[in-house]
Amino acid sequence: MKKLIFTLATLIVFGSCRTIEKMVEKGQYDEAIIYATEKLAGKKNKKTKHVQSLEEAFMKITKRDMEQIEFLNGTEKPENWDRIYDIADRMERRQNRIEPFLPLISKEGYKGFFEFMKTYEIKTNALNASAEYHYSEGLALLDLAKLENDKSYARSAHERFVEADKRKPHYKDVLTKTKESYDLGQAHIKLEVENESLAVVPQDLERIILSMNVSRMNTTWRKYHTSDLKNVPFDYKAVVNLTSIEVSPERETVTHHEDTKEVKDGFRYLRDKKGEFVRDTSGQKIQVDNFVTIRAFVSEIFREKAARVAGQIEYINLQSGDRISTRPLNVEAVFSDYASSFRGDRRAICKHDVNRLKSYPLDFPNDFEMILDATENLKGILVDELRSMPI
């Protein structure tokens, strides 16, 4: 009980320390304004000290914000316009919080004075100046991209134009410049397949590989293609070079084993060590389950065949002719199937063997079918590989 009283007393003391006046003294002006408006909300008899504290907090933080805006504006650094806008926006939200209470008069008749700043004008000027800054930066970067044929400059220019449009939608010809920088910043990549293996392969092997949905690998700045583009030169080439296509021999293995199991088979009378029947309290012979061992002789056929496709993918810069990187590709397709038959008691067959009971395993696929299966697997690997292309 004493502990509870002490805790409540501590909370009361702590709560009493949280006053608007102390927040103002500590320079916590926004916190003081929020706390004061919460205290004043819905009250008819407003305390003079609360009105005065709110007045003081608002005056001091407004003065501080205006001085900061004047300083940032005086440095003549165009990158400061975003900061000026943020300060003005914060001032506006603060004024909107206080405005519903105006005129603010205490129960003693004290009327608070709150001088509101024209934040709309400040924000509008800041947005216009910021949009012009980002737009001008974008133009300079776009010129560099064209002069040095450097896509990184075009992408940076695109970011600037997007920022300019955010601050002032449809500013000048920003939409046209945004598209121009986007088009210039994109890297167009041609995907090709070369078969340098000595294997005889299906004629449509290359078509199967190139039939993959290359749009899945596209990013904002990377676009893959499997056919030529009209009036758009390729920047890079990704060449899938198949160096080895192998199909293993057909392998068939026959094995035999025995499955056994203990099963219940009727009952028997329980005997003791002397061979005498064991009886219950009523004199009746005690019955127990009788178990016997059953057997099944299982013959299993296992068929297996595999195809392996190996090679590499090369990334080539078509502007310079340089090979950016070369990465290995290895993929395999495996066919396997089982068939099992038995002699004896079916109940003895384990679950593993029961699932394989059938007369014959599936026929071996031909070599071309195996190669096509491996090619499909290769397409899946290419998706991940092309997504991580180092450009």
Statement to judge: residues 311 and 174 lie in one domain: no
Estimate the crossing angle of helix 29-40 against helix 48-74, to 10 degrees: 140
The pTM of this model reads 0.64
Nearest to 58 by CA among 86, 85, 96: 96
Asked whether residue 76 is domain-assigned, the answer is yes
Statement to judge: residues 354 and 206 lie in one domain: yes
Q: Residue 165 corresponds to which amino acid? A: D
390 C-beta neighbours (distance < 10 Å), count: 7
**pLDDT of the residue at 12:** 37
Per-residue pLDDT of the chain (391 residues; tens, 9 = 90+): 444 444 443 333 334 345 777 888 787 888 888 887 887 776 777 788 888 888 888 899 999 999 999 998 866 788 889 899 999 999 999 999 888 888 888 888 889 898 999 999 999 999 999 999 999 999 999 999 999 989 999 999 999 999 999 999 999 999 999 999 999 999 999 999 888 887 767 667 778 888 888 888 888 899 999 888 888 889 999 999 988 889 999 999 998 988 888 888 888 888 888 888 788 888 888 888 888 888 989 889 999 999 999 999 999 999 888 898 889 999 999 999 988 888 888 888 888 777 788 878 889 999 888 988 998 888 888 888 888 877 7
Token pair, residue 353, equals: 């063997």
Statement to judge: residues 236 and 142 lie in one domain: no
Alpha helices for the chain (secondary structure H): 2-17, 20-25, 29-40, 48-74, 81-98, 119-148, 151-167, 174-185, 205-210, 351-354, 367-387
3-state SS, residue 331: strand
Estimate the crossing angle of helix 119-148 against helix 174-185, to 10 degrees: 40
Statement to judge: residues 133 and 222 lie in one domain: no
Domain boundary residue, one of 69, 94, 117: 117
Query: Phi and psi dihedrals of 143, rounded to 5?
Result: -65, -40
Statement to judge: residues 61 and 133 lie in one domain: no
pLDDT tens digits, one per residue of 130-187: 999 999 999 999 999 999 989 999 999 999 999 999 999 999 999 999 999 999 999 9
The whole-angstrom separation of Cα 340 and Cα 302 is: 9
3-state SS, residue 257: strand
pLDDT tens digits, one per residue of 345-382: 888 888 877 778 887 888 999 988 898 899 888 888 88
Give the domain range for residue 98: 19-117
Asked whether residue 368 is domain-assigned, the answer is yes
Asked whether residue 73 is domain-assigned, the answer is yes
Statement to judge: residues 220 and 335 lie in one domain: yes
Statement to judge: residues 200 and 173 lie in one domain: no
Asked whether residue 154 is domain-assigned, the answer is yes
Q: Which long-range contacts (CB under 8 A, 24 or more apart) does 125-129 make?
A: 126/81, 126/82, 126/84, 126/85, 126/88, 127/81, 127/85, 127/167, 127/168, 128/168, 129/78, 129/81
Statement to judge: residues 230 and 378 lie in one domain: yes
Asked whether residue 39 is domain-assigned, the answer is yes
What CATH number should be reported for the domain holding residue 383?
3.30.160
Domain boundary residue, one of 95, 117, 139: 117
Statement to judge: residues 192 and 168 lie in one domain: no
Domain boundary residue, one of 185, 200, 234: 185
- C-alpha distance from residue 30 to each of 27, 52, 89, 192, 281 (Å): 9, 15, 14, 62, 91
Statement to judge: residues 56 and 90 lie in one domain: yes
- Taking CA 114 as the corner, what is the angle to CA 110 and CA 119, rounded to the nearest 5 degrees? 170
What is the tally of structural domains in the chain?
3
Statement to judge: residues 35 and 70 lie in one domain: yes
Asked whether residue 275 is domain-assigned, the answer is no
Statement to judge: residues 154 and 198 lie in one domain: no
Nearest to 97 by CA among 33, 24, 27: 33
Asked whether residue 40 is domain-assigned, the answer is yes
The whole-angstrom separation of Cα 47 and Cα 33 is: 15
Asked whether residue 103 is domain-assigned, the answer is yes
Query: Which helix (H) or strand (E) segment is 269 a member of?
Result: strand 251-269
